[in-house]
Structures are given as C-alpha cells and as structure tokens.
C-alpha cells in the first residue's frame, strides 16, 4: 500500500467542527463531517442551483471514477468490481438473494453478529437451508479453531465481519479465506468495522463478496455503502433487481435493453449524488493523508487510550489479543456500572457506545491525545 509523508494531525483536527463541541469516540458507529467536505457539497449545490443537471461542478462520471479508483487501490481490487449502494444490509441482501443454494445446504454466521449480517440470510430458512452460528472467542486464533470445528460437509457459505463490533477483535481473514477456499466454501464479508481500519484485501484473503458502509472509518455520509463482487463470481449470481440503471447504455430508455452492466448493475436507479460528492471529498482527504498513515494514527490513539485506561484500573478486551492491532477500545471496570459510565460521558460531551455490558471507544485521525486524557479524567470522577 502506498505510504505518504506523515500528515499534520493538528491541522486536520481543525477541519472538524465537532472538536469544538464534543469528543467523538464512536467512529466505528458514525462519523462527523469536516469543513472541506461541507465546502465540496455546497459548491456542488450552488452549481446545481445554477444549471441543474447540466452543472459542470462535480460531474457524475468523474465523481464515480474517483470514488471507485481510490477504493480499488485501498482494497487491491479492480474498480469495476465495486458498486455504490446504500449500506451493508442492502449489499449483504443482494449477495444472499443472488447465491444459488438448495435445501439441505448450511450457512454459517457469527455469534452475536450485527443484524446487517444476520437478517439478510434468514429468508433461506423457508427454502430448507440451515443457518448456524460460530461461537465467539476472546482471541482470533480461538475463533479460527471454533470456525474450523463448525465446518460440516453441508456448509456452502460463511459470512463474517472483519472485526467484532462489540469487542474490537479483528478476525484472521487471510487464514479463514485460505481454509474456506480449500473446502470450496463461499466467503462473504461484512466489512463495516474493518475497511479503512485494517488492510482488508479481498483478493489476497479469498473473499468473493463484501459490503461495507461509507460512514465509519472512511468518514463518509450516512446512507451510502459499497458492494464488492469478484469479477469471476458476478455472472453466477441471480439478479432479480433489474432497474433503469442496471443495463448498458441506461441513458437510452427505448428500446428496452437486456445487456447488464458489470458490478455497477446494482446501482439500480437514480443515485443520491450529493452523498457521492461527500464521499469523494472524504476519500480524497484520506488518500492524501495516506490510508496507511490513517490506520497507524488510529492504532496510536487507541493504544494511548488503552494504556491510560489500564493505568486507571480498567480491563480491556484487547488484552486477550495483544498481537493483533485494533482501533476499537472496549473496556470495563469491576464494581462499576458501564451503563452509568456511558451516560456520564455523554452528559459531558463524550460520544461512545455500550456494547455487551462494556464501554466501546473508537478514535479517528481528527482527534488529539489531549482529548483522550480528558475522557480518562471524566471516567475517574
């Protein structure tokens, strides 16, 4: 992955107005907007106000090309293997409805998984397909063993997350992908908590299908997501979603067309283009910063907060997997109510989350260590 010079983190912090109001530590949930992106969206809206769809500001083909090019470089895939959709749930749904399973087959999912990677699979139960769950573990290696033990001859699909949303634990994707490939099992990934935080590389990890949102580690807008389908898998999927935007030369409405586009056939009809403009802006910023630099900065902030919490007597989920990097800090303190802790922090302008009875923090590159000191100070009161 391309390495950029070390950025000026202080300058970047000033781009985020949220820093003047709050300490936003829920970036694996949703992310705030920066002033450069506000300017980009305003510039487009002014152009649209003046000339409507004929505006020369942020033209559709250019914006789409920039987004897919940057993402393709980040993920190590081809740009035309990516489609801009709405969210992870939609993408997993497209994949689930497209796979050709039969009665007696089995799908393996993750125990305590986020609903976006559970609900889209449930329709298979009515068709005689069994859904089973891989037990969680406190370590990546332990989970890999759990997964291997759960594999039976009838398992045809395994759909997992890149990172457990409640503990911050990354899964050993490359080892999982290699194991599933040997078994001839399709590997589907919910990349929501991983893309932009971890080096998720579908081709290298044996992942055939993946969906993820724009608004977490990629700092994009709510309601925009990305679908990845390996090129060699595309034509093997059922496609019951054909819409105006699914066909080649879709700007010509008559006669009706049969030939489908590539993966962007899933951009079924008119898109929310303002979201695309927003996403282009944040991706360009992260590309300029350097995705590697961004990931390392997130790890640095997470490690700093983790050390401070340990010193204050907190137990961390990441202590069970010290050899694996994560930007999600999940902590608890014996004898304390974590629900009360989260409420206390929110009342004092710190946004975090309560997950499985523990407090979850997720910093991003626009935060400073002084803000993390403030959080630990609030927790000690």
Residues 94 and 174 in one domain: yes
Domain-embedded: residue 104: yes
Cβ-proximal residues to 72 (8 Å cutoff; 6+ apart), any chain: 78, 79, 81, 82
Paired sense of beta strands 209-213 and 353-355, if any: unpaired
Asked if residue 335 is part of any domain, the answer here is yes
Q: Are residues 226 and 368 in the same domain?
A: no
| Residues comprising the chain, all counted | 381
pLDDT at 2: 54
One domain for residues 228 and 256: yes
Nearest C-alpha neighbor of 94 from the set 225, 257, 201: 225
Q: Choose the final residue of a domain: 242, 271, 287.
A: 287
**4 in a structural domain:** no
Backbone angles phi, psi at 60, to 5 degrees: -55, -55
240, 371: one domain: no
Confirm whether 44 is domain-assigned: no
Are residues 26 and 92 part of one domain? no
Task: Output the DSSP codes for 296-328.
Answer: HHHHHHHHHHHHHHHHTT-EEGGGG-TTS--S-
Residues 263 and 321 in one domain: no
pLDDT at 5: 79
> Rounded to whole angstroms, how far apart are CA atoms 328 and 192?
13
Tokens of 302: 């997470």
353 phi, psi to nearest 5 deg: -140, 155
Averages of pLDDT over runs of 10 residues in the chain (381 residues) are 78 97 97 98 97 92 97 98 98 98 98 96 98 96 97 98 95 97 98 97 98 98 98 96 95 94 96 97 98 98 98 96 95 95 97 96 98 96 80
Identify the CATH number of the domain in which residue 92 sits.
3.40.640.10
Does any domain span residue 320? yes
Residues 193 and 277 occupy one common structural domain? yes
Q: What is the pLDDT of residue 3?
A: 61
Query: Do 160 and 308 belong to one domain?
Result: no
Buried b / exposed e along 346-361 (16+ C-beta atoms within 10 A): eeeebbbbebeebbbb
How far is it, in rounded angstroms, from Cα 298 to Cα 3?
15
- Domain residues for the domain of 80 are 58-287
Check whether residue 338 and residue 216 sit in a common domain: no
Q: Are residues 294 and 280 in the same domain?
A: no
**Count of structural domains, the chain:** 2
In a domain, 52, yes or no: no
My answer on whether 267 and 358 are in the same domain is: no
């Amino acid at each position: 992955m391309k390495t950029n010079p070390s950025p000026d983190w202080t300058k970047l912090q000033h781009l985020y107005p949220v820093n003047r109001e709050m300490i936003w530590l829920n970036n694996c949930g949703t992310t705030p907007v920066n002033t450069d992106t506000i300017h980009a969206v305003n510039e487009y809206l002014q152009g649209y106000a003046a000339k409507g769809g004929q505006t020369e500001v942020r033209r559709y083909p250019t914006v789409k090309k920039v987004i897919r090019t940057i993402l393709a470089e980040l993920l190590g895939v081809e740009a035309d293997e990516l489609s801009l959709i709405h969210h992870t749930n939609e993408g997993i749904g497209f994949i689930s409805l497209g796979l050709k399973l039969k009665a007696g087959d089995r799908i393996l999912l993750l125990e305590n998984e986020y609903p976006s990677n559970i609900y889209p699979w449930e329709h298979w139960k009515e068709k005689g397909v069994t859904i089973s769950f891989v037990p969680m573990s406190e370590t990546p290696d332990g989970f890999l063993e759990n997964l291997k033990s759960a594999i039976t001859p009838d398992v045809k699909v395994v759909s997992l997350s890149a990172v457990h949303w409640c503990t911050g634990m990354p899964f050993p994707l490359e080892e999982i992908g290699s194991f599933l490939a040997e078994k001839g099992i399709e590997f589907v990934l919910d990349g929501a908590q991983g893309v932009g935080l971890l080096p998720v590389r579908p081709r290298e990890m044996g992942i055939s299908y993946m969906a993820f949102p724009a608004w977490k580690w990629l700092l994009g807008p709510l309601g925009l997501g990305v679908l990845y389908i390996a090129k060699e898998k595309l034509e093997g999927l059922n496609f019951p979603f054909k819409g105006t935007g699914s066909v080649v030369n879709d700007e010509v409405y008559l006669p009706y067309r049969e030939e489908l586009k590539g993966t962007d056939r899933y951009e079924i009809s008119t898109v929310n283009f303002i979201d695309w403009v927003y996403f282009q802006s944040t991706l360009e910023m992260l590309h300029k910063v350097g995705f590697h630099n961004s990931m390392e900065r997130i790890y640095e902030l997470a490690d700093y907060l983790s050390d401070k919490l340990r010193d204050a007597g907190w137990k961390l989920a990441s202590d069970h997997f010290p050899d694996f990097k994560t930007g999600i800090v999940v902590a608890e303190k014996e004898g304390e109510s974590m629900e009360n802790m989260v409420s206390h922090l929110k009342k004092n302008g710190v946004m975090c989350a309560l997950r499985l009875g523990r407090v979850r923090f997720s910093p991003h590159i626009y935060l400073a260590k002084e803000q993390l000191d403030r959080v630990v100070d609030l927790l000690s009161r």
